[in-house]
Structure 1
Amino acid sequence: MADRDFDIVIVGAGAAGLSAALAFSRDGYRTALVGSLDSRRDGRTVALLNGSVRLFEALGIWPAIAERAAPLETMRIVDDTGSLFRPPPATFHASEIGLDAFGWNIENADLVDLLADAARRQEGLTLDEGQAGGIEVTGGHAVIRLEGREAIRAKLCVAADGRNSQLRKSVGIKARSWSYPQSAVTAILAHDRPHRETSTEFHTRHGPFTLVPLPGRRSSLVWVTNPEEAKTLAGLADAALAAKIERQAQSILGTMTIDGARGTFPMTGMSVGRFTAPRLALVGEAAHVFPPIGAQGLNLGLRDVAALRDAVIDAGDAGEDPGSPDALARYQRGRDIDVRLRTVAVDSLNRTLLTGLLPADFLRGAGLLGLSHIGPLRRAVMREGVLPRIGTPRLMQGAA
């Protein structure tokens, strides 16, 4: 089984799985990546925050990503709920915390394509486009069963196989899932007016309506609304949908046209009781799912990857193998607080938008006013939103 025997096997070839494969093979571990490298365009983008940019710089692939991404120099929040306590728009500038940009926005499919190209060129990385059916632990190894082909084994298996992770289910890690009375409509737009590197998020009674810059006079849309309206929007022709979006955006970017793929997705959340099992670590949406608010989803998954890499490196320095109990315990400790706090924060903000209760409106309005006018609080929240100051993984600590 020598040619099917690795130090680390990653299952799942999305952005988180590809990043993990590149990170571990770069550090000299015999690494395999299991999963299809095909990407699908569905109108979704990701805003790569500062820590994620640093990770990709460390992996040597940031220049290629930057060519297809747009900087987010300014972030604006507009309360469009109709609340009695509606505060004025709050605007945040990256320069206030010493950054050129909070992050960079890129289409999901473009990011996955670029990471896949890097994976194909990466020395020490074996690609297997099979599908994993489960995992067993025996003799100090994880044995990963593949459908229609020979199993592979490793000291550590990384589950990056998404919210319906087969590996997570096969080891009995319980997940708590929930849904929201919302769906998200996504699209790529072209528009008359320049976005000036500004991301604008309208908080409506049905959820956030967000326009995020892309290169040129283009932006991505995430419109979170009730499922009935989302279904209606999804059924519109491109011109009619673009007109609806322009009205909802208060024409801040002028006339709009659909300029790429579209998609519609139910809004759900998911959390797990633990991030590890013997010889297994969960990363990305195998470990956590929540609404697309504040660009936290994939950025949190990339922090999982960087934190797991640190735990494995530290284990090696102590003479332990990558999937040892101590390595996995380090990873569990490192992710517990970060993941759980972000999940609660995003879930709570989304739920306050859905309620019509005056106390919730008052608290949300007071919070935005405080962020607008209290400088130290404002800068602290911006820094924490971009990258936690405590427990930052080492690959995310470099200059960006």
Structure 2
Amino acid sequence: MANHTQIAVIGGGLVGKATAVAAANAGFSTLHVAPEAPVDRRTSALMGPSVDYMTDAGLIGDPETLGVALTRIRIIDATKRLLRAPETVFSASEFGYRAFGWNFANARLGESFSQAGLVNKNLALRAATLKSARRVDGNWHLELDDGDTLTVDLLVGADGKGSSVRKAAGIAVKERKFDQAALVCDLELGRGLDGESVEFHYPNGPFTLVPAGGNRANLVWIDRLDTLEDARSEPGRFVSTLNEKSRHLFGAIEVASPNFVFPLSVLSVDVAGKDAAVLVGESAHAFPPIGAQGLNLGLRDVASLNACLKAANPGSYGWADAVARSYGVARRTDLMRTGAFVDGLFTSLLSPHIPAQALRSVGLWGLKTFPMLRKHAISFGMGK
């Protein structure tokens, strides 16, 4: 077959780029199919194990040159409920870490990932979109929107919540949408965060400030969509609301970038790999941006797929099916556990019911008080 490649990765986000590089580094002929896209102006807080993977895989160099170290995590219950949780602070030094992780601009990460791919002879790039995919006689037959067709052994979906690969592979998906949305933008604070990520927990979601260097912070504000739209409808009202939400703890706030609003949902799949097709990133899982789990989980997908590829025998019949099966098994526990954790954390914050609020409050008291519980929570949050 003249137009054949061993692996095709569909989707151009950070997880798609990382997957394409990993597949090529594992020695497979790889085609990365992704259309031209606008610059991703969001940021991502990546924990230590994710940063270690990116460094070991050659995706980035020294994280200090790309990101801002996260050395403290501060959680403030701002709900004004009868059962309120105590303010809780975690310091990286308490657990023997130099930093919990680093906060990166997605655009800079994307540039670094792309550079890593350019030097690999096994990796080819195609600025296109997948038009159709069907499996015939053990091969995936792909049609791209630029008119090209090709066959591949292993098909990787990194194409987001509406994944075409997931649909083609017949993998069942469950999705629950929320009334809440997330607003993101950059802020200039009167007083810098000095490496501390601060989460104010409100009844409709957290208001989180993440250090971005100097006095700059990245805001992730989760609230009802109508509340967010109303707050950002006028510049003066927006700044006033931001000062109120941050409890005036950081001096005068200035908006330093355009703001964007994203709808929120929880998405999960029954299995992340079957029939020589695998799903990574938001093709397989999505949830609200709480606890810095989204991209961290996606990079764990990439690391797991990389391990499966290194263990594969591409000269054997059905190797791609074997990779998909082993990947699906390998990812099952992590996807279920992390999804349940984030969903439980978010719904307990939103819940108007006293028992749920009490359980959340008791949990945060435990995290504040018991060293072993603190250590376990941090280890879980870092993906260990």
Task: Please give the TM-score of this superposition, normalised by the length of structure 2.
Answer: 0.95
The answer on 1:255 being equivalent to 2:247 is no
Task: Give the aligned partner of residue 395 of structure 1.
Answer: none
Select 1:352's aligned residue among 348, 359, 370: 348
Task: Give the aligned partner of residue 212 of structure 1.
Answer: 210
**Residue 252 of structure 1: how far off its partner (Å):** 2.1
Amino acid at match of 2:143: R
Cα deviation per residue 1:133-178 (whole Å; 9 max; x = unaligned)?
A: 2222223322222113221222211100000011111222221111
1:378–1:145 CA distance, 2 compared to 1 (3 A): same
**Residue 308 of structure 1: how far off its partner (Å):** 0.9
* Contact 2:12-2:159 at 8 Å conserved across structures: yes
1:299–1:267 CA distance, 2 compared to 1 (3 A): same
* Contact 1:64-1:114 at 8 Å conserved across structures: no
Select 2:337's aligned residue among 338, 341, 354: 341
**Partners in 1 of 2:231 and 2:39 — Cα distance?**
21
Select 1:174's aligned residue among 151, 172, 175: 172
Q: How many residues align?
A: 384
1:122–1:216 CA distance, 2 compared to 1 (3 A): farther
Partner of 1:53, secondary structure, is: helix
Larger mean CA deviation between 58-67 and 136-145 belongs to 58-67
Partner of 2:86, secondary structure, is: coil
1:134–1:65 CA distance, 2 compared to 1 (3 A): farther
Task: Give the aligned partner of residue 270 of structure 2.
Answer: 273
* Contact 2:131-2:144 at 8 Å conserved across structures: yes
Cα deviation per residue 1:56-94 (whole Å; 9 max; x = unaligned)?
A: 111223226542311111001111111222122100111
* Contact 1:312-1:322 at 8 Å conserved across structures: no
Task: Give the aligned partner of residue 138 of structure 2.
Answer: 140
Name the % identity: 32
**Partners in 1 of 2:254 and 2:317 — Cα distance?**
53
Partner of 2:214, secondary structure, is: coil
Cα deviation per residue 1:85-126 (whole Å; 9 max; x = unaligned)?
A: 212210011122221111111122332233223323433210
**Partners in 2 of 1:255 and 1:323 — Cα distance?**
59
**Partners in 2 of 1:83 and 1:271 — Cα distance?**
32
**Residue 274 of structure 1: how far off its partner (Å):** 1.6
1:211–1:323 CA distance, 2 compared to 1 (3 A): farther
Structure 2 unpaired stretches of 5+: none
* Contact 2:274-2:321 at 8 Å conserved across structures: no
Task: Give the aligned partner of residue 51 of structure 2.
Answer: 53
The answer on 1:294 being equivalent to 2:291 is yes
* Contact 1:73-1:197 at 8 Å conserved across structures: yes
**Partners in 2 of 1:84 and 1:320 — Cα distance?**
63
Larger mean CA deviation between 19-28 and 104-113 belongs to 104-113
Within-5 A mapping of 1:1-400: 1-2=1-2, 4-42=3-41, 44-63=42-61, 66-237=64-235, 239-316=236-313, 320=316, 323-388=319-384
Structure 1 unpaired stretches of 5+: 389-400
Cα deviation per residue 1:215-237 (whole Å; 9 max; x = unaligned)?
A: 22111111111121011123222
**Residue 204 of structure 1: how far off its partner (Å):** 0.5
**Residue 320 of structure 1: how far off its partner (Å):** 4.3
1:365–1:273 CA distance, 2 compared to 1 (3 A): same
Partner of 1:315, secondary structure, is: coil
**Residue 277 of structure 1: how far off its partner (Å):** 2.7
* Contact 2:265-2:287 at 8 Å conserved across structures: yes
The CA RMSD measured in Å over matched residues stands at 1.8
**Partners in 2 of 1:339 and 1:5 — Cα distance?**
32
Amino acid at match of 2:335: V
**Partners in 2 of 1:171 and 1:387 — Cα distance?**
28
Cα deviation per residue 1:171-194 (whole Å; 9 max; x = unaligned)?
A: 222211111121111111111212
Task: Please give the TM-score of this superposition, normalised by the length of structure 1.
Answer: 0.91
**Partners in 2 of 1:165 and 1:300 — Cα distance?**
17
* Contact 2:58-2:116 at 8 Å conserved across structures: no
Cα deviation per residue 1:236-286 (whole Å; 9 max; x = unaligned)?
A: 22x542332122111222111111231011111111122123111000000
